[in-house]
Structure formats: C-alpha cells, structure tokens
C-alpha cells in the first residue's frame, strides 16, 4: 500500500498549495490513500467545513487535526457528521467526533488511521495518556496481510514522538509527527518494521516563523509583551509530506521518503 501523508496545512497559502499540487502528486506517486493534517487550515486556526471541502476537492480522503481542532466552533457540530475528519483520540469519551478512521480500498486492502496528541508542552487542551489510548485501539486492529495502520502523532516534544514510535514498533505501519511545522531529516524504519519521521513539516509559506508572518513573533521575543494575533504568512507555500510504502503481506513498512514541492524549501520527490 502507498500512503501519502501531508503535514499541517497553514492558512490560505497552504490551501492554495494543496489545490495546486496534491492532485498531480497523488497521481505521480500512485497513492492508494491520502491523509492531510488540517490543524491550521482555516486562517491558521483549526478547520471549517468549507476548508475541509477544499482538501477533499484536491484529493484528500482523511483529515487529521490536533490541538486546534476546536478553534473554529462550527467544527463541534460538523465533526460528528463528517466521519473523514479526525480529532485527537485521547480526549474524553463523550467528546464529539472520533480519533480512528478506516477505509476498505478497491483492491480489498484496508487502511486504519489513528490520530493522537502528545502531552508534553501541549497546554492548550488536556489530553489523556496517548500510549494507553493507542493500546486500546490496537486491541481491535492488528497488522496483518492487506491491512496498514498509520499514526499521526501531533506533539511538541521530539522525545515523546520518538518514544511513541519505538513503543509501537512492529505493531503499526508508520508513526509520523505533526505540529512543529518543520520537516525533519530522520525518515527511517525501526527494527521491527515501523516507519518513522519526527515531523512531516507544514504545507505553508516558509518565509515566516513556523507559518506566521515573522514580525509578530519577533516583537514578542524582543519585547516580552503579550503576543498579538498571529497572521499566517501569505507567500508561496512548500507542500511538505511523506510517502510510506507498506508490505501487503505484513502491513509493515518497506520504505518512507519525504515529499517537498513548491515554495522556497529544497525540493524532494520519492523515486517511483
């Protein structure tokens, strides 16, 4: 199975890059399933019904969120109706929405997507213990022939992301981090067959400070005053993501490679 994952979409610039590049990218990479993190898609704060539709129109099939999933209040009602949008799994039981997505592909294979948030330095929302939450899901879904399991771990601390991937090694196809908006150069496959990258990076304008116009955070660092409203940078975005190829016989990873197209970052495209 070929799984295309695109990191945090940041504002209008990121959405424009998705519309421009994702349809051709899916075709070129022969993706069987396409997952997009949309935690900052709507003006840099969460996702709306309309911005989610922009992602679907470009070819996304599953959308993951993060700590900003409720920033657009309409999502509280939308997420119960749109089963393709995931909020973090490790929220209280009666929270609207779901943290697991499954789909049967035309060839009979199945993809399972699990979306969780970390707890270190993630003060905006209280998240339950992510390790135990994933264990609960994996009691019902195990890797097997024809099934791949992908985990979007939305977390700040690199140590927490790496610990999660090591903990899940051999039990899921891939663990890829989101949230920090910077693509990391550590794509690898662990000893028991799980693919890993600390952060897929954002789909946004990198002439910025993690996707926002640079002048506001610079003033914050210089003057130590309360932060003004963050404004997404509006230049051309680099679409950043990852392509994972899994073994149809085991569900374990065969390869993981970064994807970068457009904007100012060095371009990178997996070999087909």
> Which residues are known to be catalytic?
68
Which distant-in-sequence residues (6+ apart) come within 8 Å of 33 by Cβ?
A: 1, 2, 3, 4, 61, 62, 103, 105, 111
Inter-residue contact 260 to 183 (CB < 8 Å):
yes
Instruction: Measure the CA–CA gap between 16 and 77, rounded to whole angstroms.
Output: 26
Instruction: Measure the CA–CA gap between 112 and 91, rounded to whole angstroms.
Output: 19
Instruction: Measure the CA–CA gap between 137 and 177, rounded to whole angstroms.
Output: 18
Instruction: Tally the residues of the chain.
Output: 272
Instruction: From residue 129, give the alpha-carbon distance in Å to each of 66, 67, 141, 209, 265.
Output: 15, 15, 19, 30, 35
Tokens of 217: 């955070």
Which distant-in-sequence residues (6+ apart) come within 8 Å of 87 by Cβ?
A: 65, 69, 70, 79, 95, 96, 97, 98, 99, 115
Nearest to 109 by CA among 257, 251, 254: 251
Instruction: Measure the CA–CA gap between 243 and 34, rounded to whole angstroms.
Output: 9
Instruction: Measure the CA–CA gap between 45 and 67, rounded to whole angstroms.
Output: 10
Inter-residue contact 41 to 119 (CB < 8 Å):
no
């Amino acid at each position: 199975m070929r799984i295309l994952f695109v990191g945090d979409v940041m504002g209008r610039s990121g959405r424009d890059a998705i519309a421009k590049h994702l349809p051709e990218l899916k075709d070129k990479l022969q993706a069987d399933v396409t997952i997009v993190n949309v935690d900052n898609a709507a003006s840099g704060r969460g996702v709306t019904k309309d911005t989610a539709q922009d992602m679907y129109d470009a070819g996304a099939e599953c959308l993951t969120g993060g700590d900003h999933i409720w920033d657009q209040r309409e999502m509280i009602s939308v997420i119960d109706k749109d089963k393709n949008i995931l909020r973090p799994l490790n929220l209280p039981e009666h929270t609207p929405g779901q943290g697991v997505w499954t789909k049967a592909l035309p060839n009979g294979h199945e993809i399972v997507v699990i979306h969780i948030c970390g707890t270190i330095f993630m003060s905006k929302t209280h998240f339950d213990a992510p390790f135990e939450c994933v264990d609960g899901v994996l009691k019902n879904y195990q890797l097997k022939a024809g099934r791949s399991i992908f985990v979007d771990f939305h977390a700040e601390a690199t140590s927490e992301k790496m610990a999660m991937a090591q903990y899940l090694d051999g039990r899921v196809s891939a663990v890829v981090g989101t949230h920090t908006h910077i693509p990391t150069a550590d794509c690898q496959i662990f000893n028991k067959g799980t693919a890993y990258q600390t952060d897929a990076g954002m789909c946004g304008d990198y002439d910025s400070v993690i996707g926002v116009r640079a002048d506001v955070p610079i003033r914050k660092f210089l003057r130590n005053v309360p932060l003004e409203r963050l404004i997404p940078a509006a230049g051309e975005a680099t679409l950043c993501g990852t392509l994972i190829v899994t073994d149809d016989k085991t569900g374990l990873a065969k390869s993981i490679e970064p994807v970068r197209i457009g904007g100012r970052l060095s371009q990178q495209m997996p070999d087909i």
